Structure 1
Amino acid sequence: MNIPRAGFVGLGLMGAPMAANLVRKGWAVTAWNRSPGAVQDLCRLGGAASKSVDELRDEPVIVFMLPDLGYIEDVASGLLESWKPAPPAPGTAVVVMSSVSPTAVKVFGQRVRAASSGRAVVVDAPVSGGTKGAIDGTLAIMAGADHEADFRRLLPLFEAMGTTVRLLGPLGAGSLAKACNQLVVGTTTAALAEAAELAERSGVDVAALYEVLSGGLAGSRVLDQVGPRMARKDYTPTGPAKFMHKDLSFVVETADAAGAAVPMARAGVELYAELKRQGLGDQDLAVVRQTISNLSRTGAVSAAEGTFS
């Protein structure tokens, strides 16, 4: 029996459980991570360790789950160089599952095709569902592939990590879908934070407010997942809040190219930039409530509203 194989680069809060689910579903996973601890954990489940990304050059699928495309290009540079004198097997797939720029991932795809003499393809397949979805294997996976056959070939990989898997269009479409996802998540979380601060400062219990909201039209999965942490002011990271600034910037970048108006995204970029300026970027996304609280305490309300409008 042929055991499906994959290389996996990036075993962080999301990548580690995603790779673990691949192993549990019968995949032979060889992983590389900048810090070795997570690789050792995967090896205990039955995975294997790679000394470098370059060593993954002969894997039929190489998954990247790093913070941004710049990190991927950096660690993959040696891999691409190794393909120039000795191209990989036809159909080799480089799968970008990080949240990256829809425009930049297309350029990266061209680099990979050129370095591999046209034998390797890039598929972007960012995910949504947070660390819980990564652990449970219930992620939503949004894919972009220039050829549907490439997506179909990767379906078993995606279905080992997620339950909602869709091909949205050519390369870059998956990243655009993720940008739209982050537009909804980032601005909804910000609205919940504003509601919490307004309620608490007016003498209303935040947890009770959220309970009522969840039973009406304002109910959402964002409220269900982020709301309890926000009500408790528990900002233990399930994913660094600073990445929302990056993701909303991709929305604005794409909107400018498409001629689309995105006033909420632009306001979100400013708000999450303020979050980073306050030194809160490494905490959970729910910490945007603290950002708004800090603006209120410093008397920066009117200035902030002018900036974010």
Structure 2
Amino acid sequence: MKIGFIGLGVMGRPMAEHLINAGHDLFVHRVKDASQYLVTAGAKAMQTPYEVAQNADVLILMLPDTPDVEDVLFGEEGAANGLKPGTLVIDMSSISPLVTKEIAARLEQATCEFVDAPVSGGEVGAKNASLTIMVGGSVAAFERALPLFNLMGKSITHVGGVGDGQTAKVANQIIVGLTIEAVAEALLFARQAGADPAKVRAALMGGFAGSRILELHGQRMIERTFEPGFRIRLHRKDLALALDAAKRISVALPNTAATAQLMNSAIALGDGEKDHSGLTRTLEAYSGVVVD
């Protein structure tokens, strides 16, 4: 299959590599030093998104934010003008569910199929092809995309119509963000109360408080390993999507708002590029605690 892949970041690179290893022809854009190995492996570097789209039967996007997706598709030399009728566009970025519906409508006017398929699992999941993929779109488009999803993920769910995948991802980010904040509070409390946070974490893992967040991110907090992973800056963006959508549908998300503000503080303190487990540093700063 001829696949255009735009978005060769921390997660996009291994996702693209899985597609190459499965024998697909990949056309990519904005190849940097970190992604040059994909060209060595057989991917073909194009100068513009338009050129990528011209060569592709399927176009996959894995971009940081809503404006990035809009620019790549509809900006100057954007991909939308190069799409052939019948092209399947798969947006695996995490962006606004509402804008996603607008994008799908514009692409459908060009007789292209569209699915939104944001992912969860971070860099580790991308490398291990074990991502959770949440999909919105028609049944036919989902079934067309499924063989490609199977190369990149393990838990793949067709949630519903266009935009429902993004809605599921926003819900995921609410749970993950608030749980990271809760784990950070708990381990900070344990440390300052005089207990060994590593032993407290081990004890909690055997009870009702046990979770993947406590297991993985709790360990990061204890070991002080905050290389991303998933950046605080990007998680703050996802919570902003949640709060914007909540405002439009009149839903109260008070703890999401509080965690987003904590992430704002983390970014102000210079930690925006750290893994979201680094939120513990912000709570420590609030409490006047120096650990690093």
Encode CA deviations 1:18-43: one digit per residue, 9 max, x unaligned. 1011111222211112x522342112
Q: Out of 268-277 and 11-20, give the one that drifted further.
A: 268-277
Counterpart of 1:41 in structure 2 is 37
Give the one of 5, 8, 11 matched to 2:5. 8
Aligned partner (choices 223, 226, 245) of residue 235 of structure 1 = 226
The 4+ residue runs of structure 1 with deviation greater than 4 A are none
Note the C-alpha offset of 1:253.
2.1
Superposed, 1:40-79 pairs within 5 Å as 40-58=36-54, 59-76=56-73, 77=75, 78-79=77-78
- For 1:113-262, what aligned pairs fall within 5 Å after superposition? 113-114=108-109, 116=110, 119-145=111-137, 147-262=138-253
1:270 aligned residue: 261
Aligned partner of 1:131: which letter? E
- Aligned-residue Cα RMSD (Å) equals 1.6
* Structure 2: runs of 5 or more not aligned: none
> When the two structures are aligned, how many residues end up with a matched partner?
286
Residues 171 and 81 of structure 1: CA distance in aligned 2, closer, same or farther (over 3 Å) = closer
Q: Is the 8 A contact 2:114 2:141 kept in 1?
A: no
| CA distance in 2 between partners of 1:80 and 1:19 (Å) | 18
Letter in 1 for 2:99: A
* 2:98 is equivalent to residue 103 of structure 1: yes
Instruction: List alignment gaps of at least 5 residues for structure 1.
Output: 299-309
Structure 1 residues 81 and 238, CA, compared in 2 at 3 Å: closer, same or farther? closer
Match of 2:78, SS? helix
Percent of residue pairs bearing the same amino acid type: 36
Q: Which amino acid aligns with 1:18?
A: M
- Normalising by structure 1, report the TM-score: 0.88
Provide the rounded CA distance (Å) in 2 between the counterparts of 1:55 and 1:208. Answer: 55
Task: Give the match's secondary structure for 1:57.
Answer: helix
What residue is the counterpart of 1:297 in the other structure?
288
Q: CA deviation at 1:81?
A: 6.0
Aligned mates of 2:42, 2:230 — CA distance in 1:
26
CA–CA separation in structure 1 for the residues paired with 2:101 and 2:15:
24
